[in-house]
Amino acid sequence: MGSIVLVVRLALADMRRHKVQAAMLMLAVTVATATMALGLSLRDVSDALYEQTRAATAGPDVVALSGDTGPAVTSALASLTNEPGVMAHHGPYRIVYADLTTRDSLSSPVVVHGFAETPGAVNRPLVTSGRWVRSGGTVLERGFATALGVGVGDHVTIAGRSYPVVGIAVTAATSVYPGAAQIGPGGGPSDYSGLAWMTRSDARTLASSHDLPVTLAVDLKLRDPAATEPFIDAHSDPTVRITFHSWQFRAERDMAILRVSQPILLVGSWLLGFLAITGVASLASGRAVEQTRRAGLLKAVGATPGLIATVLLTEYLALALAGDALGLALARLTAPAIASPTASRIGDAAGPTGLAIAAATVLAVAVAVLSTLGPTLRALRTATVTALTATAHQPRHRPRLTALSALLPTPLLLGLRLTARRPGRAVLQACSTATTVIAIVALLTLYAQPERGYGLDGSSALPNLRGEHDRQLMLAVTILLIALAVVNTLTFTWTTAMEARANMAIARTLGATPGQISAGLSTAQLLPSLPGAVIGVPLGIGLLSLFAARNAVDPPSSWLLGAVLATLLATAALTALPARLAARRPVAQTLSAETA
Amino acid sequence: MNVSSAVVRVRGLVKDHGQGQSRVRAVDAVDLEVPQGQMLAVMGPSGCGKSTLLHLLGGLERPTDGEAWLAGRRIDTLSERALARLRRRSVGFVFQAFHLVEELSAAENVELPVLLAGRSRREAGCRASLLLERVGLADRARHLPSQLSGGQRQRIAIARALANDPLVVLADEPTGNLDTAATLDVLRIFEALRSAGQTLVIVTHDERVAATADRLISMRDGMFVDDTRLAGSHTRGLGGLIGLEG
């Protein structure tokens, strides 16, 4: 009992004393776990939203579509409704292919479903605002209406005729916007299209008055909703071309818009986790002397090695787990918006799955353990008496580097020697820079891709939602990565400055100016950043090629070069502030503090 | 001397630092017995092995050779874990540099060994209050070490050393960082401890501190060169003895 109180007390006291470090660890773990939980939950959230929409709209188990019309097709589709496995049905109904234009001159292909004024037992679209179809009016699918910026009471022009929008609705019978046209006219491929409903007679009139392409569909409810595949296999008729879409296929198609989102989030979470580890490890190593002394003190008063390890790790683990909980809550809140970028689905997504929670928690624990393992082991292995008088890490003597650096200007001399004092930290700085550049390259690559908009003939007046969604996600992940990298750079510089303050003070007594000291500290961060930024470019291109489409194009070389230069300039600017602050410390004060 | 009454006993104790040509013998075949209730002062020049001896007696370091017992239990063969438990219950350390946990208050520092011993928070709190009262710092219980003077910090460290009623208090230059007035405060506490029958081993450079002990051992080059009884010294006024009062 006493030990638990002690562990908690020491952990809390240390957190209070190092608030910035505690906040940084928690923030880093929060963003990494939130991103990972989102990435791992996307499919489940998408499925859940589809399921909830399906339940709310009596979604069909199978939709049978024919690209042709005529008595034979109508008969074939109607005969499906009499099959013993079919419990209920809706249709056959007309699907008319037309163009829709809003008052704002936004134009898009649209498929118009001719429905009864009173919805049947299957495929009853849920009206989310306004009312259901009536003669002379149209109801727009919610995802489509949102993209067009159209609401109830507005007018839209379909095939040259104006219709009032009387309602907005959702359905699980079609894919999310812009995938409403499940097959094209004649059964061929379809364009990006929105969905509108009209009364049967209005749809018939629309089709006939403008000689528009028409297809037929029937929605089926099966006795065994899971047995869609056997039903489809049993009713494939070679004489009449019918396309069957099961509800499972529909749910799968909802994921199409998220095809790139998932890798963006998952790879992003790995990179964020990596940056979290490098940042916290740097902070922890900066406090290694203090931690070792603390461990020695605890040993002297009778703490066992196990208890000391518990004390050292508890603080980080507690913070990491708190960050994990925050990250999971954040993922829970943002999952519906990210998993359903269109407004075509309704419902509240369930929280992250067990797998996502477990994986995020493993990531959080890994960040805590990996970033503190070194200082903890050092504290445990150091003999008590040595630990009580622990001093800063003594760097190796490197005569060749010392001789080489002597030929350089003072800032470079100092920078090179500072970098060589802590090669491990230099590697972390290089990796941190490379990680940032990887994200920037991925972002630039996404912006470099040509894509078809959802407007008429691929017009970008209605932008490509998937591309926009991917870019927004990538931008968010990149901003998070840059934020962590910025914190890391500041931490690396400050930790280096603090560890080298005695040496820098001696350099000042030997005639180095504060400006040279400051430039030396900045150079110490820039030297490893340079190879990090350069190697980040091919790594970024290579990583993205694993997930990108085969016809994806690389961003222009000038963009990549600009990214590298901007990263290095930003690093130089970021290191300037802590370096200047550290260099301004009075020499006498520093030297007397070190010898006290 | 009756062996069974010795709280601390070592035989042929050797401690080498470093390896190969850089090896230095800090403690060289030392024999020592400290009976219950004795206040032993160990003096000698810097680097003679005084502090190393103290660390060996308290199990902070392991001897290169020889044997060490604490209250009849051999300690040089114990595991790190067992040594930690032994220190927790039987040894109280006082260091020149105080070594207080900076982020814990004075009371929390004193409670630390009590909690380590597995006792409840309430017991630890009671014990800390009692000991802070004893060292005259009850009104500083909530202060952080950084808010206390050097003398006050050392008194907190002494209170912490006494937290679990140790068999022996081992003090390494306890007045080394203190001014005259603070030194007097600390010596008064040690005097009170000796009167209460507490076994004390104090390593010091300060002859005034050594003069308050029952016994004085002088060390040179890792060996004992003198072992003197100072019987009766404590019967004199402490301040007068050490020249701190008029």
pLDDT of A588 reads 65
- Last residue in a domain, options A391, A412, A430: A391
| CA A348 – CA A329 distance, rounded (Å) | 14
Structure tokens at B6: 């010795």
Alpha-carbon gap: B235 to the closest alpha carbon of chain A (Å)? 32
pLDDT > 70: percent of chain A: 96
Point out the residue among A2, A383, A389 whose CB comes nearest to the CB of B114: A2
pLDDT of A394 reads 61
Alpha-carbon gap: A318 to the closest alpha carbon of chain B (Å)? 18
| A36 plus A102 within the same structural domain | no
Closest residue in chain A to residue B92, using alpha carbons only: A301
Q: Model-level pTM?
A: 0.76
* CB-CB neighbors (< 8 A) of A1 in chain B: 118-121
| A485 plus A525 within the same structural domain | yes
Pairing, β B39-43 against β B215-220: parallel
Quickly count: other Cβ atoms within 10 Å of residue A302's Cβ.
Answer: 26
Q: Does residue A257 lie within any of the structural domains?
A: no
Structure tokens at B12: 């042929």
| CA A63 – CA A91 distance, rounded (Å) | 10
| CA B242 – CA B236 distance, rounded (Å) | 10
| A464 plus A556 within the same structural domain | yes
Task: Name every residue in A having a CB less than 8 A away from some CB of B.
Answer: 1-3, 5-6, 9-10, 13-14, 16-17, 293-294, 296-307, 383-385, 388-389
pLDDT of B43 reads 94
| pLDDT 10s digits, A35-67 | 999 888 888 888 888 999 999 999 999 999 888
Domain count, chain A: 3
| A89 plus A158 within the same structural domain | yes
Quick check: A302 and B85 CB within 8 A?
yes
- Of the two residues A593 and A251, the one the predictor is more confident about is A251
Alpha-carbon gap: B61 to the closest alpha carbon of chain A (Å)? 7
Tell me the pLDDT band of A71, cut-offs 50, 70 and 90.
confident
| CA A301 – CA B156 distance, rounded (Å) | 13
Amino acid identity, position A189:
P
Alpha-carbon gap: A592 to the closest alpha carbon of chain B (Å)? 16
Point out the residue among A1, A6, A388 whose CB comes nearest to the CB of B99: A388
pLDDT of A596 reads 46
Quick check: B121 and A2 CB within 8 A?
yes
| A136 plus A218 within the same structural domain | yes
* CB-CB neighbors (< 8 A) of B103 in chain A: 10, 13-14, 16-17
| A77 plus A26 within the same structural domain | no
For A451, list phi and psi in degrees, rounded to 5.
-150, 155
Quickly count: other Cβ atoms within 10 Å of residue B67's Cβ.
Answer: 15
How far does CA A343 lie from the centroid of its chain?
Answer: 19
- Last residue in a domain, options A339, A362, A391: A391
User: pLDDT 10s digit of each residue in chain B, 246 long?
Assistant: 444 579 999 999 999 988 888 888 999 999 999 999 999 999 999 889 999 999 899 888 889 999 999 988 999 998 888 888 888 889 999 988 888 888 888 998 898 888 888 888 899 899 999 999 999 999 999 998 889 999 999 999 999 999 999 999 999 999 888 888 888 888 899 989 988 999 999 999 888 888 889 999 999 999 999 999 886 555 445 555 555 543
Torsion sign over Cα A31, A36, A37, A43 = positive
Tell me the pLDDT band of A539, cut-offs 50, 70 and 90.
very high
* CB-CB neighbors (< 8 A) of B95 in chain A: 300, 388
Structure tokens at A240: 């009449």
Alpha-carbon gap: A384 to the closest alpha carbon of chain B (Å)? 6
Structure tokens at A480: 């998070």
* B110 close contact with A: CB closer than 8 A: no
Amino acid identity, position B116:
L
Quick check: A2 and B61 CB within 8 A?
no
Q: Burial, A472: exposed, middle or buried (Cβ in 10 Å; 0-12, 13-18, 19+)?
A: middle
pLDDT of A311 reads 83
pLDDT of A208 reads 87
- Of the two residues A297 and B132, the one the predictor is more confident about is B132
* Average pLDDT, integer, range A185-205: 87
| A329 plus A347 within the same structural domain | yes
| A183 plus A301 within the same structural domain | no
Quickly count: other Cβ atoms within 10 Å of residue A353's Cβ.
Answer: 16
Q: Does residue A168 lie within any of the structural domains?
A: yes
Quick check: A300 and B99 CB within 8 A?
yes
Picking from A214, A227, A324, the residue whose alpha carbon sits closest to that of residue A269 is A324
Give B37's Cβ-side CA count (13 Å radius).
5
pLDDT of B75 reads 92
- Of the residues B50, B62, B85, B116, the best mutation for testing chain A's interface (the one with the most A CB atoms within 10 Å of its CB) is B116
Quick check: A13 and B103 CB within 8 A?
yes
| pLDDT 10s digits, A126-138 | 999 999 999 999 9
Alpha-carbon gap: B241 to the closest alpha carbon of chain A (Å)? 31
* CB-CB neighbors (< 8 A) of B120 in chain A: 1-2
- Of the two residues A578 and A128, the one the predictor is more confident about is A128
Quickly count: other Cβ atoms within 10 Å of residue B188's Cβ.
Answer: 16
pLDDT of B44 reads 92
As a whole number of angstroms, the longest Cα–Cα distance in chain A is 100
Closest residue in chain A to residue B105, using alpha carbons only: A13
Which DSSP string corresponds to A73-117? HHHHHHHHHTSTTEEEEEEEEEEEEEEEEETT--EEEEEEEEE-S
Q: Does residue A167 lie within any of the structural domains?
A: yes
Q: Does residue A69 lie within any of the structural domains?
A: yes
pLDDT of A170 reads 95
Which DSSP string corresponds to A550-582? TT--PPPHHHHHHHHHHHHHHHHHHHHHHHHHH
* Tokens 């109607």 -> residue: A78
Alpha-carbon gap: A308 to the closest alpha carbon of chain B (Å)? 11
Quickly count: other Cβ atoms within 10 Å of residue B21's Cβ.
Answer: 5
Q: Is A549 a residue whose pLDDT tops 50?
A: yes
Closest residue in chain A to residue B114, using alpha carbons only: A2
Which DSSP string corresponds to chain B? --GGGEEEEEEEEEEEES-GGG-EEEEEEEEEEEETT-EEEEE-STTSSHHHHHHHHTTSS--SEEEEEETTEE-TT--HHHHHHHHHHHEEEE-TT----TTS-HHHHHHHHHHHTT--HHHHHHHHHHHHHHTT-GGGTT--GGGS-HHHHHHHHHHHHTTT--SEEEEESTTTT--HHHHHHHHHHHHHHHHTT-EEEEE-S-HHHHTTSSEEEEEETTEEEEEEE-TTGGGS-HHHHHT---
* Tokens 């999952």 -> residue: A335
- In words, the CATH class of domain B38-50+79-230 is alpha beta
Quick check: B103 and A6 CB within 8 A?
no
Picking from B212, B147, B138, B150, the residue whose alpha carbon sits closest to that of residue B181 is B150
| CA A74 – CA A343 distance, rounded (Å) | 32
* Tokens 């504060």 -> residue: A514
pLDDT of A392 reads 60
Quick check: B99 and A297 CB within 8 A?
yes
Quick check: A3 and B116 CB within 8 A?
yes
Point out the residue among A6, A296, A384 whose CB comes nearest to the CB of B112: A6
- Of the residues B75, B101, B126, B168, the best mutation for testing chain A's interface (the one with the most A CB atoms within 10 Å of its CB) is B101
Tell me the pLDDT band of A296, cut-offs 50, 70 and 90.
confident
ipTM: 0.71
Structure tokens at A288: 């290694």
Q: Does residue A238 lie within any of the structural domains?
A: no
- Of the residues B64, B86, B87, B164, the best mutation for testing chain A's interface (the one with the most A CB atoms within 10 Å of its CB) is B87
Point out the residue among B102, B112, B118 whose CB comes nearest to the CB of A1: B118
| CA A216 – CA A447 distance, rounded (Å) | 39
Backbone torsion region of residue B51, taken as left when φ is above 0, otherwise alpha when ψ lies between -120 and 50, otherwise beta:
alpha
Quick check: B113 and A301 CB within 8 A?
yes
Work out the angle at residue A546's Cα, subtended by the Cα atoms of residues A543 and A549, and round it to the nearest 5 degrees: 120
* B167 close contact with A: CB closer than 8 A: no
| A354 plus A286 within the same structural domain | yes
pLDDT of A552 reads 79
| A435 plus A581 within the same structural domain | yes
Closest residue in chain B to residue A387, using alpha carbons only: B60
Q: Is A393 a residue whose pLDDT tops 80?
A: no
Chain B from 187 to 226: CB within 8 A of any A CB: none
| A575 plus A501 within the same structural domain | yes
Alpha-carbon gap: B111 to the closest alpha carbon of chain A (Å)? 9
Residues 6+ apart with CB under 8 A from A137: A163, A164, A165, A166, A167, A198
Q: Is A432 a residue whose pLDDT tops 60?
A: yes
| pLDDT 10s digits, B149-177 | 999 999 999 999 999 999 999 999 998 88
Q: Does residue A551 lie within any of the structural domains?
A: yes
Which DSSP string corresponds to A492-512? HHHHHHHHTHHHHHHHHHTT-
Chain B from 25 to 84: CB within 8 A of any A CB: 55, 60-61, 80-81, 84
Quick check: A10 and B101 CB within 8 A?
yes
Structure tokens at A182: 């499940």
3-state class (DSSP) for residue A432:
helix
Q: Does residue A232 lie within any of the structural domains?
A: no
| CA A562 – CA B140 distance, rounded (Å) | 60
Closest residue in chain A to residue B81, using alpha carbons only: A304
| A122 plus A95 within the same structural domain | yes
User: Which residue range forms the structural domain that includes residue A218?
Assistant: 62-224
| pLDDT 10s digits, A395-430 | 666 777 777 777 788 888 888 888 888 888 889 899
How far does CA A217 lie from the centroid of its chain?
Answer: 37
